[in-house]
Structure 1
Amino acid sequence: MRFVDRYPIIVTPKLAECRDFWTARLGFEVVFEADWFVLLQAVGATMAFMSPDHPSAPPGPEPFPGKGMCFELQVEDAAQAYETCRAKGLVCDYPLTEEPFGQLRFGFFDPSGLWVDIIEQVEPAEGFWDRYMTA
């Protein structure tokens, strides 16, 4: 099987707010838009938002905010991404933090309630993983 793309569909009544948030603050572009669906892309990432009342909504997903889901966007330079996002007016709920498990990251909620982590993989703190290794 050869995949052409992969992306989450966030079911939310806040299509316009999500579209505006992701395009203005994170540099995504609208690829397709209808009154019930918005498909967005940036280099290396695609995502979509769908109205909960459209007949094509898949069975099961409830409108966000959902529980237990986050959307990870890995970048080459998290500090630069943080400054760029803040300059565009993004309010971060989790400030730029170097995590001992090997990530430099920051996070925020989008208008649908989706938790978004912007991460850069870095070296973990010395000895961090030792406590998880078994002999």
Structure 2
Amino acid sequence: MTTNSIFPVIPARDVARSRDFYSGLLELTVVFDSGWYVQLQAPGNDVVQLGILEQGHHTVPVGFRTTPAGVLVSVEVDDVDRLYAGAVEAGLPVVSPLRDEVFGQRHFMTTDPDGLLVDVITVIPYAAEITESAAVTGGAR
């Protein structure tokens, strides 16, 4: 067996609102929209996909037709600074401001219309103390 793709499908109370949030924030293209399900994709990269499903849709088992909780969606991008500026300009909630982390990320966090945490990341070099520690354990990148 070969796995061909893994991508998140996010339940949403308002599919169109979530579609607009994710396509606007992450510059994704709508490749399918039935009203109750939307498939988004990065332009020119069909491996990067996100599905949005109406949380009360009959295909979702009873008991799972709720707002998502306890999940963090991480998205790696080339220019987090530009997307952060766009998120602030659009008035999106910023729950963790843009910052550099010693473990090799520059990122910020926002929430989608249903409160799902979205971490937008650009990979940066590890801090010196992390690089030295990783070199000792064989985990340097």
Which sections of structure 1, spanning at least 5 residues, go unmatched? none
TM-score (norm 1): 0.79
Q: 1:62 to 1:127 in 2, by over 3 A?
A: farther
Q: Once the 2 structures are TM-superposed, how far is the Cα of residue 90 of structure 1 from its aligned partner?
A: 3.0
Partner of 1:31: 31
Question: Which SS does the other structure have where 1:50 is aligned?
Answer: strand
Question: Which SS does the other structure have where 2:110 is aligned?
Answer: strand
- Cα displacement string for residues 13-57 of structure 1 (whole angstroms, at most 9, x for unaligned residues): 221220121223332222222232121122342111112332222
CA distance in 1, matches of 2:62, 2:9: 12
1:94-133 matches, cutoff 5 A = 94-128=96-130, 130=133
Q: 1:121 to 1:60 in 2, by over 3 A?
A: farther
- Cα displacement string for residues 40-95 of structure 1 (whole angstroms, at most 9, x for unaligned residues): 1223421111123322225774522311x211111122223222333344332211
Partner of 1:52: 55
Partner of 1:71: 73
Query: Which structure would you say has the larger RCO, counting Cα contacts within 8 Å and 6 or more residues apart?
Result: 1
TM-score (norm 2): 0.76
Question: Which SS does the other structure have where 1:7 is aligned?
Answer: coil
Which sections of structure 2, spanning at least 5 residues, go unmatched? none
Over the residues paired in the alignment, what is the CA RMSD in angstroms? 2.8
Moved more, 39-48 or 103-112: 39-48
CA distance in 1, matches of 2:63, 2:6: 19
Q: Once the 2 structures are TM-superposed, how far is the Cα of residue 101 of structure 1 from its aligned partner?
A: 1.3
